[in-house]
Amino acid sequence: MNIAIITPDFSSNCLGRSYLLAQLLQRYHRVSIIGPIFKNEVWFPLAKVRDVPFLPIQTPLNLTQFILRINRIIKKIKGEVIYITKPLITSYGPALIAKKKFKLPLILDIDDWEMAPFKEKNILQKYLQALYHINNPFSFFPCAVMDKYIARADLITVSSNSLKKMYGGLVVPHLRKIIPPKPGMKSSKKTVLFLGTPRPHKGLKELIEAFKLIPYNNVVLQIVGFNKKSAYCQELKASAKRDKRIQFQDQVRFDKIPEYMAGADIVVIPQKYTSCGQTQLPAKLFDAMASGRAIIATRVSDIPEIIGDAGVIVEPNNTAELKNAMISLLDSPERIRELGEKAKERYRKFYSFDKMSQKLNDYILSNLNV
């Protein structure tokens, strides 16, 4: 069976979720990823991927221009099923038209509560911002319209139990294939790692403040995924206040992630309890588990249930507790090793890539008349 996966933007990190779905399904079906690209390049971590066909359509970041070009995306859809990443106008919009035109079934994947950023603003802020960005396809009004059409999907998949409570469907976590890391990434100093796309709800400011309180010189904090053009990333760098133990590194390709994980002693996932944070499940949690790293994470979303006793859970937004958790592990190499082994075993037992691939395929075949 041919499955067309529509991504909202080839140049942003939402492509990562589309790629995961393609990897899970390509064992049983022919898959391709279609969608607009709003910048000049494919999202860097997946720019050199060759195992899944990418079919990006160059489009200006302008709602009017996108609508004028929407048929270019629809014409690229070749298959018996359309699988959409995110209920956004740039992915779900073309899919809804194709559903009506070609009578194709739609599967909608939801890995974030797209309305969450707007819920955190007051009504005046929300509408003033919406008017200012009225021609941005990712602004309030297009998101609100697409949110009303979620029920038009024939099937739904979600990335967390928090989202399942909101939308139903099958939970498909942000899993990773286990790739043996290449040697050579290990530092002579102990390494605390955050790897991912920096966002306000991911708790990086709290992580930096907590790390600055650690009185050890033989440890570094690596923040990998830094974007020099991002105002938020520049704020993070400023908050480090010349602490030379804190290192900022650019985005890395997906195939390099295991190397960075292998070089870390501790992986920290300091997700905040916000409208965005409580429904999102960080993909790097599974990277860390699959790599057998000791994990410190916050009590947000499904994180405590996924980690179980294979990591350290702290309360969100609690700098002192986060600092103490890092010091406790840094003082105990044996505990780091023990938690890493438990995390890897738990990943293999409950989050097998092959089992999820079969489960997703069975879910589709048993619920769609294809």
Per-residue pLDDT tens digits for 26-67: 999 999 999 999 999 999 999 999 999 999 999 999 999 999
Distance CA 329, CA 293 (A): 12
What would the mean pLDDT of 235-244 be, rounded to a whole number?
Answer: 90
The proportion of the chain whose per-residue pLDDT surpasses 70, expressed as a percent, equals 94
Indicate the pLDDT class of residue 124, thresholds 50, 70 and 90: low
User: What is the residue-wise DSSP string for 232-260?
Assistant: HHHHHHHHTTT-TTEEEEE---GGGHHHH
Indicate the pLDDT class of residue 176, thresholds 50, 70 and 90: confident
CATH number of 2-175+352-367: 3.40.50.2000
What would the mean pLDDT of 109-137 be, rounded to a whole number?
Answer: 76
H or E stretch including 192?
strand 190-195
Q: Residue ranges of the domains in the chain? A: 2-175+352-367, 190-350
CATH 3.40.50.2000, applies to 190-350: yes
CA angle 221, 223, 225 (to 5 degrees): 165
- Mean pLDDT across the chain, nearest whole number? 92
Three-state DSSP string of 10-79: CCCCHHHHHHHHHHHHCCCCEEEEEEEECCCCCCHHHCCCCCCCEEEEECCCCHHHHHHCHHHHHHHCCC
What would the mean pLDDT of 212-231 be, rounded to a whole number?
Answer: 94
- For 81-96, the pLDDT digits (tens) are 999 999 999 999 999 9
Per-residue pLDDT for 356 more than 70? yes
- For 276-300, the pLDDT digits (tens) are 777 888 989 999 999 999 999 999 9
Q: What is the pLDDT of residue 55?
A: 97
Structure tokens at 232: 């938020």
Q: Which of 36-50, 184-198, 347-361 has the lowest mean pLDDT?
A: 184-198
Indicate the pLDDT class of residue 181, thresholds 50, 70 and 90: low
* Helix, coil or strand: residue 126: helix
Q: What is the pLDDT of residue 229?
A: 85
Candidates 176, 174, 175, 172; CA nearest to 359 is 172
Distance CA 46, CA 305 (A): 29
Indicate the pLDDT class of residue 137, thresholds 50, 70 and 90: very high
H-helix segments, 140-256 = 140-147, 161-167, 204-212, 231-239
What would the mean pLDDT of 232-236 be, rounded to a whole number?
Answer: 92
Q: What is the pLDDT of residue 177?
A: 76
What does the radius of gyration of the chain's CA atoms come to, in whole angstroms?
21
Query: DSSP class of residue 267?
Result: E
What would the mean pLDDT of 124-132 be, rounded to a whole number?
Answer: 66
Contact 263, 234 (CB under 8 A): no
- For 319-344, the pLDDT digits (tens) are 999 999 999 999 999 999 999 999 99
* Helix, coil or strand: residue 182: coil
Other CB atoms within 10 Å distance of the CB of residue 248: 18
Q: What is the pLDDT of residue 185?
A: 60
Candidates 109, 93, 108, 17; CA nearest to 59 is 93
Contact 122, 264 (CB under 8 A): no
**CB-based contacts of 180, cutoff 8 Å, min separation 6:** 258
What would the mean pLDDT of 352-364 be, rounded to a whole number?
Answer: 95
Contact 208, 240 (CB under 8 A): yes
Q: Which residues pair with 178 in a beta bridge?
A: none
Q: What is the pLDDT of residue 277?
A: 72
